[in-house]
Amino acid sequence: MDEGTGLTAEVVSEAGPRVRLSGGTLFLFVVLLLAIVGVGIQAVHDLNLFAVVTLNGITLAGLYFIVASGFTMIFGLMRVVNMAHGSLYMLGGIVAYLIQQRMIPTDPTSFDLPQATLGSFLIPLILATLVVAIVGLIMQQVFLRWNQGQELRQALITIALSIIIADQAVAHFGGIAKQISTPFRESVHIPYIGMYGTMRLAGLIIAIVVGVLLLLLITRTRFGMVVRAGVDDRQMLSALGVNVQVVFAIAFLIGAFLAGLAGTLGGTINSVNKADDSKFLLISLVIVIIGGMGSLVGAAVGAVLLGLLDAYTAVYMPGDYSNYGIILTFVLLVVILAVRPFGLLGRAG
Amino acid sequence: MIPARYQWPIGIVVLVVAALLPFVTTSFETSQILTRALILGIAASSLIFLASLGGGVSLAQTGMYGLAGFLFGNFVAADGGATMAIGIYPALALAIVGTVLVSLIIGLISSRSEGIYFLMITLAFGVIIKLIFEKATDLSGFGGINNIPAPSFLGNTTTDPNNLYWLALAISALVYLGVRYFARTPFGLAFQGVRDNPTRMRALGYNVIVLRTIAFGIGGLIAAISGLLNVWWLTEIAPGTIDVGPIIYLLLIAIIGGLYRIEGAWIGALIFAIIDNRLRSIHFVGDRTTTAIGVIFLLIVLLSPGGVMGIYESLVTRFRRPRTPGPTIASDDGTAASSVAGD
């Protein structure tokens, strides 16, 4: 299972998911159809609500994609399951919050967030993302560089790091969820939908930009070419005179950068929370398992599926059952893995 | 490795000494260290069972352990659980059956993957089980189910922990012997064959997926038993009991003990229980026990590549390079010389 991942599958244009009309695929379609009909029946009652919920799901998917794309990229190239990816996400939010507090402290007598300016919003965001990228790079250089290829050991090392980061985060940050202040508090008007939060839209746009840039990086640059070659045959690439260690370091830096970026955005749109590490590790895992490990397009598909599922179950699950929406994530995972054991766009082995 | 003819005597001596321990330890030590180690040991043995015989590290075992506890709590309608009160023994049976069914489903799905993929998929399932109970407050109360009753023959498990300790010890012995026995049954041998060379086993006509799924179900059964002991011991269960932290601790226990020796489960659990208990009393560690445990974990995986870790590294390569010594069938004197670890 060391040869090949979806990172190459998607750049060769004709190599999409090989859809065979087997019983399993048919089953997947039936399940999807039932889900669409189920949501559809309720959606016709209130089309505006449906549009808002769909946009909620898509913006959520944007955030999920930024996290999962970093995870899948590290895995695709280096076979490292970075169990500390959720911790890097959480670290992004925490560092951004702490920097912003230095710039504009919260008034302890008031529950309101301090009013941020463009500077006191962007500077913490950028600094925190860079800090997380560097933390990720250090992590790779100190703990993962010298045991390349020992998949389980590397996973265990990142697990140990995630325990330490989580506990230190609680110690220095506390257990209460906090939010990063933004100047973009107003809503904007979108046709057919109405007023919608600016930051959520901004998050979606950033996610699309990230996705396009990553795809261009992988398909159009020399670095991307080297990465694709490394995914297929690490030894051969090294033998050809490419400094694989530098490629790995840059890839890990980018992966950690994406986790940090998502953390700062998530901390602005939602909140900075001590439980985010396990939550976003799970989200990364599920998206990458659904989409196919190492596949960028797969991560996008998985993120949209999971985002929409989260948004629809929050609204359309009947009455008291909306808390059980997480069970549908379980069902989604089971159904997709039953039909495509390597994920929607994953390649066997 | 201990020669085969000494295995039974040594095993019996260990068991007798363990059974007599509560007479020399305080009831706090019996409960917080010994009983805890046995319960965690049984849970870890389900992980080691799958890792040693099947070659896959399952992180869903903590989920199974919690699932059994939550099901039992709900069926006996303890505080915070749903109201569907039935007797303790039917509840016990239903909790075990329910947990095994869920683990068969998860096993069926994750059996198609191997190595690091198997680890990721089972981790995802483990965390999802936790999230289901966290969100579904009808099933888990707000902050957990409390006052879960234990069977009456155990007495009050808080004031008199000895009965529960002996029960956990007896079950540990049964699980240990059961796993050792299983490794020598035709099914157990086929399961180990799948670990060493799935392709060849498939060619020989074995259904690899079914073999792995049933074994995963057995792992779920062992985890369910320890989950029930756990709720009798703690008298409560909360979603936090099966969070990512505890999932990782179970893996840590298995790693301390050695992923490929079933007796390592209890050794690892005992070391973990002692460390966890003693760390709290060290001044500079204080509230940061988790960090200390994380550092210990990190040191173990970093520093012992030839020792403990050397075995784990072979886990991944195991799929490509089958191990030469298969489990031996029987030694000269007729006693089982087979080792789960295939030493």
Assess if residue B33 is contained within a domain.
yes
Q: What is the pLDDT of residues A173-206, one digit of tens each?
A: 877 888 888 888 778 888 777 788 888 899 999 9
Residue B13 in domain: no
Contact state of B124 with A282 under an 8 Å Cβ cutoff: yes
> Is B161:B38 a contact under the CB 8 Å cutoff?
no
Give dist(CA B189, CA B147) in Å, integer: 43
A196 touching B, CB under 8 A?
no
Say what the pLDDT of residue B103 is.
Answer: 95
Using alpha carbons, select from B102, B92, B133 the residue that is nearest to residue B227: B92
> Scanning the structure block, which residue is given the tokens 């190239």?
A77
Q: Is the pLDDT of residue A19 over 50?
A: no
The DSSP symbol for A323 reads G
Domains of chain A: 6-339 (1.10.3470)
Q: Which residues in B lie closer than 8 A to residue A333 (C-beta atoms)?
A: 109, 124-125, 128
Q: Does residue B3 sit within a domain?
A: no
Q: Given A163, A164, A327, which is nearest B132 (Cβ)?
A: A327
What ipTM describes this predicted complex?
0.79
Per-residue pLDDT of chain B (343 residues; tens, 9 = 90+): 566 778 888 888 889 998 888 888 888 888 889 999 999 999 999 999 999 898 889 999 999 999 999 999 888 877 665 556 788 888 999 999 999 999 999 999 888 887 788 888 899 899 889 888 888 777 777 778 888 888 888 877 777 888 899 999 999 999 999 999 999 999 999 999 999 998 999 999 999 999 999 999 999 999 999 999 999 998 889 988 898 889 988 998 888 887 778 888 898 899 889 888 888 777 666 678 888 888 888 888 887 644 344 454 455 455 444 444 444 333 333 333 333 333 3
First to last CA, chain B: 8
Kindly report, residue by residue over A261-284, the tens digit of the pLDDT: 999 999 998 888 888 888 899 899
pLDDT of residue A331: 80
Question: Which chain A residue lies closest to B314 (C-alpha atoms)?
Answer: A150
For chain A, give the mean pLDDT: 83
Whether B137 and A323 lie within 8 Å, measured CB to CB:
yes
Task: Tell me the C-alpha to C-alpha distance, in Å, between residue A230 and each of A212, A218, A284, B4.
Answer: 21, 12, 22, 49
Best of B301, B317, B319, B320 to disrupt the A interface by mutation (most A CBs within 10 Å)? B301
Q: Which of residues 56-85 of A touch B (CB under 8 A)?
A: 79, 81
Q: Which helix (H) or strand (E) holds A188?
A: strand A187-190
Contacts of B108 in chain A (CB under 8 A): 338
The DSSP code for B34 is I
Q: Are the beta carbons of B100 and B213 closer than 8 angstroms?
A: no
Q: Which residues of A touch B248 (CB under 8 A)?
A: 159, 162-163
Query: Is residue B16 in some structural domain?
Result: no
Q: How confident is the model at residue A260 (pLDDT cuts 50, 70, 90)?
A: very high
Q: The tokens of B286 are what?
A: 């204080």
Instruction: Indicate whether B329 belongs to any domain.
Output: no
> Please, what's the b/e burial string for A103-118 (b: 16 or more CB within 10 A of its CB; e: otherwise)?
ebeeeeeeeebeebee
Domain annotation covers residue B198 = yes
Shortest CA gap A120–chain B (Å) = 32
Q: What is the mean pLDDT of residues A224-234?
A: 82
Distance of CA B39 to the CA centre of its chain: 8
Cβ–Cβ contact B309 with A under 8 A: yes
Domain span at residue B131? 26-317
CB contact under 8 A, B124 and A289: yes
Residue A34 has pLDDT above 70, yes or no: yes
Indicate whether A103 pLDDT > 90: no
Tokens (6 digits) for A11: 């750049």
- Does any CB of chain B come closer than 8 Å to the CB of residue A167? yes
pTM for this prediction: 0.83
Nearest to A61 by CA among A289, A277, A300, A288: A300
Residue B58 falls within a domain, yes or no? yes
With an 8 Å Cβ cutoff, are A323 and B287 in contact? no
On whether any CB of chain B is under 8 Å from the CB of A129, the answer is: no
Indicate whether B54 belongs to any domain.
yes
Q: Over 90: is that where the pLDDT of A307 sits?
A: yes
Residue B191's CB: how many other CB atoms inside 10 A? 25
The answer to whether B303 faces chain A, any CB pair under 8 Å, is no
- Kindly tell me if the per-residue pLDDT of A57 is higher than 60: yes
Q: Residue B224 sits in a domain of what CATH number? A: 1.10.3470
Each residue of A155-179: pLDDT tens digit?
A: 889 999 998 998 888 888 877 888 8
Work out the average pLDDT over A11-17: 41
Higher pLDDT, B257 or A301: A301
Query: What would the mean pLDDT of A199-218 be, rounded to a whole number?
Result: 92
Residue A331 sits at the chain B interface (C-beta within 8 Å): no
Q: Which has the higher per-residue pLDDT, B27 or A322?
A: B27
Is the pLDDT at A17 greater than 50? The verdict is no
Give pLDDT tens digits for B231-257: 999 888 998 889 888 998 899 888 888
In angstroms, rounded to a whole number, what is the distance separating the alpha carbons of residues A66 and A263?
9
Nearest to A265 by CA among A135, A90, A69: A90
Q: Give the pLDDT of residue B310.
A: 46
Q: How far apart are CA A248 and CA B316, in angstroms?
A: 21
> With an 8 Å Cβ cutoff, is B189 touching chain A?
no
A151: chain B residues, CB-CB within 8 Å: 115-116, 316
Phi and psi torsions of B322, nearest 5°: -60, 145
- Coil, helix or strand for B303? helix
pLDDT-derived band at A136 (thresholds 50, 70, 90) equals very high
Number of domains in chain B: 1
